[in-house]
Amino acid sequence: MGKKRANPKKKGRPPATHGREMYTTIIDDEMGDKIRRIAITEYKTISDVLDEALTLYLASIKNGAAPRKTSKENRVRFTTMVAPEKRDEIKLIALDHKMDISDVFNDVISQFLSAKASNK
């Protein structure tokens, strides 16, 4: 028999979201797998890895880099937690460059992965 709870309706603390919200976008299948692999090897959550990628990307855009187009083949849905302010900045970049939001997200991840690969 397990321990009886003082208040069986209350089930402890809600999970910490760190100010992030669920967000679904469409990214390249392989890139999603690579993001998951990085998260596992660095003992982070997928949203932490994506947050790092977004931070680096937004910094490079502020320095005058333009978003690059990536291929539209084999894209799948990718749901993770994203900070709303970063998501909004990505939307603004997409509007400025007349691109799809998912295109910008693909660019974010591809630049992050290429930076990771060059650091090894």
Q: How many CB atoms lie within 10 A of CB 97?
A: 15
The pLDDT score that the predictor gives to residue 24 is 92
Q: Tell the residue number behind the tokens 């900045």, with chain if given.
A: 89
* Exposed/middle/buried for residue 108 (C-beta within 10 Å: 0-12, 13-18, 19+): buried
* Residue ranges for the chain with pLDDT beneath 70: 1-2, 5, 120
The pLDDT score that the predictor gives to residue 1 is 62
The pLDDT score that the predictor gives to residue 77 is 92
The pLDDT score that the predictor gives to residue 73 is 82
Burial 44-68 (b: 16+ CB within 10 A, else e): eebbbbbbebbeebbeebeeeeebe
The pLDDT score that the predictor gives to residue 66 is 78
Q: What's the half-sphere exposure (Cβ side, CA atoms, 13 Å) at 22?
A: 2
The pLDDT score that the predictor gives to residue 36 is 92
The pLDDT score that the predictor gives to residue 39 is 92
Q: Read off the tokens for 42.
A: 């660095």
Which CATH code for domain 21-119? Answer: 1.10.1220
The residue extents of the domains of the chain are 21-119
The pLDDT score that the predictor gives to residue 9 is 78
Rounded to whole angstroms, how far apart are CA atoms 1 and 41?
38
